[in-house]
Amino acid sequence: MKSKVLILVLALVMGAVATFFAIRYLSSATQRLEAEAEPVKVLVAAEEIPRGMSAEELVEKGLIVTQEIPRMYVSSGAVSQISSIEGQVVSSPISKGEQVTLTRFQYAAQAGLSYGVPEGFVAVAIPSDAVKGVAGLLKPNDTVMVAATFKPGPNGEEAFTKVLLPKARVLAVGASVGAEAEDDEIKTTSGLGSRGSNDQEQIASTVTLALTPADLEKLVYAEEQGSVWLALLPATATDIPVTAGRSLDTVYQ
């Protein structure tokens, strides 16, 4: 009789233990499934994205959008904020609807400058000094306005200054092609003063712009036949006003 009672007690205890672990397993599985189904915000390509485009261009042109995707379907290295790829370029094409991942981006210095040149554009470097190059404060991915001045011509043409290119993207400043580049990578020409020590601020000797072939012709001609100046545009610049240009007769108007 006692053995039967002992067996019954053991059976009840084992059943309770089995029930406890079953409940614990189901609870853990439920939590895991809920976690995997939790929506996560990631960046997704709204259109086909070719290599060479910068992260800033993708945002400006609306080529990437934010979507909520269940965590279980989020790709490894998926990007949720543009700040994670800021200053980088697309190193391999991204298909429409594909999640944006870190593996598809590199700094231009790593990928090569050609990766930073948008489709249909070319890279052209022009000489820059402390005055004409915005005091050496330009950075890759800035946008600039290019103005040109032509001296009086042999046939009576008067000196004239006009905006040549309203908006152009800076690909490189000296040897610096991305935010990750160190200061000592920038080739320099002259110092502009002290930083609080014996070191002098240095100015990059060239600025490389992304231009269409037609704009390339304009810039090269202006650089060879006149004088070219760069003006830094605000990061939020959209519509650039059209100007008529200035000569000696109109400079004070």
Looking at the fold, whether 125 and 101 belong to one and the same domain comes out as no
Specify whether the CB–CB gap between 100 and 192 falls below 8 A.
Answer: no
Rounded to an integer, the average pLDDT of 77-90 is 84
> What size, in residues, is the chain?
253
Tell whether 34 is covered by a domain: no
- Asked if 70 and 40 count as a contact pair (C-beta separation under 8 A), the reply is yes
Mean pLDDT of 71-80: 85
Q: Is residue 13 part of a domain?
A: no
Compute the mean pLDDT over every residue in the chain, rounded to the nearest whole number.
75
Residues 208, 125 share a domain? yes
Last residue within a domain, chosen from 114, 133, 154? 114
Q: Is the pLDDT of residue 200 over 50?
A: no
Tokens linked to 56:
């800033």
Q: Could you tell me the end-to-end alpha-carbon distance of the chain, in angstroms, rounded to an integer?
A: 117
**228 close to 126: Cβ distance less than 8 angstroms:** yes
Which residue range forms the structural domain that includes residue 50?
39-114
Helix (H) or strand (E) holding 40: strand 39-45
CA quadruple 14, 17, 21, 22: dihedral positive or negative? positive
Give me the mean pLDDT over the 131-140 stretch.
Answer: 69
Question: Could you tell me which of 43, 36, 38, 41 has the C-alpha nearest to residue 102?
Answer: 43
Name the pTM for this structure: 0.54
Provide the b/e sequence for 37-62 (b: ≥16 CB within 10 Å). eeeeebbbbeeebebbbbbbbbeeee
Q: Closest Cα to residue 99, out of 55, 35, 38, 46?
A: 46
Distances (CA, A) of 79 to 11, 89, 162, 222, 247: 53, 14, 42, 42, 51
Answer yes or no: is 192 within a domain: yes
Check whether 235 has a pLDDT greater than 90.
Answer: no
Number of independent structural domains in the chain:
2
Does 32 map to a domain? no
What letters, b where the CB count within 10 A reaches 16 and e where it falls short, cover 183-199? eeebebbeeeeeeeeee
Are 106 and 146 members of one domain? no
Burial class (CB in 10 A: 0-12, 13-18, 19+), 101: middle
Q: In this model, does residue 201 exceed pLDDT 60? A: no
pLDDT tens per residue, range 100-120: 888 888 876 676 777 777 778
Helix (H) or strand (E) holding 27: helix 2-37
**2 falls within a domain:** no
Q: Residue 213 pLDDT > 90, yes or no?
A: yes
- pLDDT reported for residue 35: 58
Write phi, then psi, for 246 (nearest 5 degrees).
-135, 140
- Residue 252 CB neighbours (<10 A): 6
136-140, 151-155, 179-183, 203-207: lowest mean pLDDT where?
179-183
CATH number at 86 reads 3.90.1210.10
- Tell the residue number behind the tokens 């210095």, with chain if given: 109
pLDDT at 194 (0 to 100):
34
